[in-house]
């Protein structure tokens, strides 16, 4: 019997490639293996160039100078940012559109056959001849487009953005940021403070496209499943119309931002208008950047309010047979609700109390705060959670709740008195915006995160005395955030909600004598209050009685 020894060089390339693609090998390991010999290097090319990230203009130039064009077809995920190195924030100078268009078009045209994910962060617009190149990206399902430049200097037209989007037949995930309205569709903005794009009427539309090149046409893309629009003006009146001849997409993720050039009230009205038309039957993740002021269902509006109080109206969807069929009074599939730092802390409670959100089956509530608003935001969320916890209908698994006093005794009061009068907690629960109905009945997780703060200035910019004051102020703010976050976490523990805090150092949460505790005993008809003590005078002597 003859024994044949197999070496690595004798193994078929198919088996080698399967080994290299195994999850146990990191990119670093594959890169090390590619240096063994020429054959191994070419075998590793599809893995090494599967994901390409070019974070700056210099990285893009270096890639085009050093990587042969024959390697472009290996790219499946491409991330390009044309912002120069050392440029932070929004820059007043955009890209040279001709040069950038040539470079981006060179990569896309030669690697179009395998590209599935594309992210472009460009400074301004591109030439119109980039539109036919996007028609070659037949496998692209994820696309992100952002303008890093100043809209007033180098805007990115909504007509060009829509021409690129409608050219992608397999698109399912779309993210747009800082897209500028076209003067063709926004004549009311001319002469105002909102930037608009002129002279974009020559943007070509794909031959197969029957939609207008304006942002509301996104709701006519039937294959779209995830839509994110941030820092973009959403005041187009077409968002409020329903096209009965086109089937709306089955959106699963919706992220609506706010325009920095408009007031919060205007941005909220734009959000309501989009929600009234966007299909939300399958929506499981919703991100909101506009806060709703207190509605009439929670407390009367202020008589000095300049604008009508916005409320969440029941969403609608469009089909080929029914142009606008209303849904229930909640989002039926909503599981994750995210509130961005753009919502002021005073509006958090009233925003969360909106019936269309409070009555949805939300499992995870996520709130992000700026460092300056984190303490106030945590207190606002805690106040809302306590109000929600006071409503017996909000508890999915009712438990006996009690308050531990300093003497160690427990005070529990039944849900109704012997006289048949309604319980004080039930009277208080009617103050909730849900009108006595369950408020977030499926809530399981609360996530609190801190948005990255601005980079601190160099110590040389301050005098020693001023630097000490700034350091002390930052320490006080950090401690205030920590205290508010600890109080919120304890509130979640009491109400049986899992809390996750990111970006705030809260330390260890110790049990205190006066905090609320949960006794693992089901009691559907019990509520939690401290026993009130009534002092009476009888025959000239004072007595205390617990009611």
Round to whole Å and give the CA distance between 104 and 167.
16
Q: Report the CATH number that the domain containing residue 112 is assigned in CATH.
A: 3.80.10.10
Highest average pLDDT, of 82-91, 97-106, 327-336, 434-443, comes from 97-106
Q: What phi and psi, each to the nearest 5 degrees, are found at residue 347?
A: -100, 0
Tell me, yes or no, whether 251 lies in a domain: yes
Going from the C-alpha of 262 to that of each of 194, 227, 437, 482, the distances in angstroms are 8, 21, 34, 33
Task: Count structural domains, the chain.
Answer: 2
pLDDT above 70: residue 51 = yes
pLDDT above 60: residue 338 = yes
Q: What is the pTM of this model?
A: 0.76
Same domain, yes or no: 36 and 70:
no
Which residue would you say has higher pLDDT here, 234 or 210?
234
The confidence score (pLDDT) of residue 280 equals 83
pLDDT in tens, 366-387: 999 999 899 999 999 999 998 8
Same domain, yes or no: 134 and 30:
no
Choose the weakest-confidence range: 2-16, 298-312, 343-357, 479-493. Answer: 298-312
Residue 251 near residue 227, CB atoms below 8 Å: yes
Same domain, yes or no: 129 and 200:
yes
Domain end residue (candidates: 290, 322, 348) = 290
Which residue would you say has higher pLDDT here, 170 or 19?
170
Same domain, yes or no: 94 and 44:
no
Same domain, yes or no: 136 and 34:
no
The confidence score (pLDDT) of residue 208 equals 67
Same domain, yes or no: 230 and 142:
yes
Q: Which residues, at least 6 apart from 88, have a Cβ–Cβ distance to it below 8 Å?
A: none
Q: Is the dihedral of CA 178, 182, 186, 187 positive or negative?
A: positive
Tell me, yes or no, whether 443 lies in a domain: no
Domain range spanning residue 35?
Answer: 20-49
Round to whole Å and give the CA distance between 356 and 293.
14
Q: How much of the chain exceeds pLDDT 70, in percent?
A: 69
pLDDT above 60: residue 412 = no
Choose the weakest-confidence range: 84-93, 131-140, 174-183, 284-293. Answer: 84-93
pLDDT in tens, 485-494: 999 999 999 8
Tell me, yes or no, whether 413 lies in a domain: no
Same domain, yes or no: 43 and 128:
no
pLDDT above 60: residue 116 = yes
DSSP state letter for 302? P
Mean pLDDT of 168-180: 95
The confidence score (pLDDT) of residue 317 equals 34
Same domain, yes or no: 91 and 222:
yes
Q: Which residues, at least 6 apart from 373, have a Cβ–Cβ distance to it below 8 Å?
A: 341, 344, 345
**Which among 134, 451, 435, 456 has a CA at the least distance from the CA of 295?**
435
The confidence score (pLDDT) of residue 212 equals 86
Domain end residue (candidates: 263, 290, 317) = 290
Q: Is the dihedral of CA 340, 341, 342, 344 positive or negative?
A: positive
pLDDT above 90: residue 526 = no
């805007």: which residue's tokens? 155
Mean pLDDT of 307-328: 36
Round to whole Å and give the CA distance between 272 and 269.
5
Tokens of 342: 């753009």
Tell me, yes or no, whether 116 lies in a domain: yes
pLDDT in tens, 217-256: 998 898 999 999 999 999 999 998 754 345 678 899 999 9
Domain end residue (candidates: 271, 290, 309) = 290
Same domain, yes or no: 166 and 224:
yes
Choose the weakest-confidence range: 26-30, 261-265, 421-425. Answer: 421-425
The Cα angle at residue 176 between residues 172 and 178, in degrees rounded to 5:
175
Same domain, yes or no: 112 and 212:
yes
The confidence score (pLDDT) of residue 242 equals 56
Going from the C-alpha of 221 to that of each of 165, 176, 226, the distances in angstroms are 9, 15, 11
Tell me, yes or no, whether 143 lies in a domain: yes
Mean pLDDT of 446-456: 77
Q: What phi and psi, each to the nearest 5 degrees, are found at residue 413?
A: -125, 135
The confidence score (pLDDT) of residue 399 equals 41
Tell me, yes or no, whether 487 lies in a domain: no
Tokens of 192: 């105002």
Tell me, yes or no, whether 111 lies in a domain: yes
pLDDT above 60: residue 391 = no
The confidence score (pLDDT) of residue 459 equals 57
pLDDT above 80: residue 521 = no
Round to whole Å and give the CA distance between 361 and 471.
44
**Which among 288, 178, 274 has a CA at the least distance from the CA of 233?**
178
Same domain, yes or no: 37 and 147:
no
Round to whole Å and give the CA distance between 311 and 434.
12
**Which among 350, 215, 351, 235 has a CA at the least distance from the CA of 286?**
351
pLDDT above 70: residue 290 = yes
The confidence score (pLDDT) of residue 52 equals 94
Choose the weakest-confidence range: 74-83, 155-164, 510-519. Answer: 510-519
Going from the C-alpha of 323 to that of each of 11, 187, 247, 270, 317, the distances in angstroms are 61, 28, 9, 20, 7
Going from the C-alpha of 387 to that of each of 380, 425, 439, 452, the distances in angstroms are 11, 10, 9, 30
Same domain, yes or no: 44 and 79:
no
pLDDT grade for 93, boundaries at 50, 70 and 90: low
Tell me, yes or no, whether 8 lies in a domain: no
pLDDT grade for 211, boundaries at 50, 70 and 90: confident
């Amino acid at each position: 019997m003859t024994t044949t020894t197999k070496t690595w060089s004798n193994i078929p390339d198919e088996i080698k490639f399967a080994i290299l693609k195994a999850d146990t090998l990191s990119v670093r390991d594959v890169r090390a293996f590619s240096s063994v010999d020429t054959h191994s290097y070419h075998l590793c090319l599809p893995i090494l160039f599967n994901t390409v990230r070019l974070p700056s203009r210099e990285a893009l130039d270096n890639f085009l100078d050093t990587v042969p064009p024959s390697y472009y077809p290996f790219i499946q995920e491409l991330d390009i940012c044309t912002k120069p190195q050392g440029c932070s924030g929004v820059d007043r100078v955009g890209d040279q559109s001709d040069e950038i268009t040539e470079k981006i078009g060179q990569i896309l045209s030669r690697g179009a056959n395998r590209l599935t994910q594309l992210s472009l962060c460009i400074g301004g617009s591109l030439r119109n001849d980039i539109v036919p190149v996007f028609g070659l990206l037949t496998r692209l399902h994820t696309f992100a487009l952002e303008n890093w430049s100043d809209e007033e200097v180098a805007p990115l037209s909504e007509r060009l953005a829509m021409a690129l989007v409608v050219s992608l037949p397999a698109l399912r995930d779309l993210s747009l940021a800082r897209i500028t309205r076209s003067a063709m569709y926004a004549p009311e903005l001319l002469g105002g403070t909102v930037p608009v794009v002129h002279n974009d009427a020559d943007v070509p539309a794909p031959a197969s496209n029957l939609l207008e090149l304006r942002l509301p046409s996104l709701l006519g893309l039937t294959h779209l499943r995830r839509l994110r629009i941030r820092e973009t003006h959403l005041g187009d009146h077409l968002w409020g119309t329903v096209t009965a001849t086109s089937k709306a997409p089955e959106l699963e993720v919706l992220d609506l931002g706010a325009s920095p050039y408009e007031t919060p009230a205007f941005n909220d009205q734009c959000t309501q208008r989009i929600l009234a038309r966007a299909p939300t039957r399958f929506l499981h993740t919703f991100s909101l950047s506009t806060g709703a002021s207190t509605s009439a269902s929670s407390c009367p509006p202020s008589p000095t309010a300049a604008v009508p109080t916005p409320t969440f109206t029941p969403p609608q969807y469009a089909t080929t047979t029914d142009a606008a069929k209303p849904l229930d009074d909640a989002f039926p599939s909503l599981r994750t609700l995210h509130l961005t730092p753009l919502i002021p802390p005073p509006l958090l409670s009233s925003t969360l109390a909106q019936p269309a959100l409070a009555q949805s089956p939300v499992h995870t509530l996520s709130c992000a705060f700026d460092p300056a608003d984190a303490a106030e935001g945590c207190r606002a969320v805690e106040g809302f959670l306590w109000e929600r916890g006071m409503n017996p209908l909000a508890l999915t698994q009712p438990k006996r709740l009690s308050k531990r006093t300093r003497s160690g005794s427990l005070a529990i009061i039944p849900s109704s008195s012997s006289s048949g009068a309604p319980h004080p907690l039930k009277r208080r629960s009617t103050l909730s915006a849900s009108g006595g109905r369950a408020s977030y009945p499926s809530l399981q997780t609360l996530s609190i995160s801190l948005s990255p703060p601005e980079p601190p200035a160099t110590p040389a910019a301050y005098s020693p005395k001023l630097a000490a004051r700034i350091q002390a102020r930052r320490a006080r703010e950090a401690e205030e955030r920590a205290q508010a976050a600890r109080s919120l976490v304890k509130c979640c523990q009491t109400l049986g909600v899992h809390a996750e805090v990111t970006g705030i150092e809260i330390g260890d949460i110790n049990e205190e004598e006066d905090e609320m505790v949960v006794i693992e005993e089901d009691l559907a008809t019990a509520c939690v209050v401290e026993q009130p003590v009534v002092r009476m005078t009888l025959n000239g002597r004072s007595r205390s009685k617990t009611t």
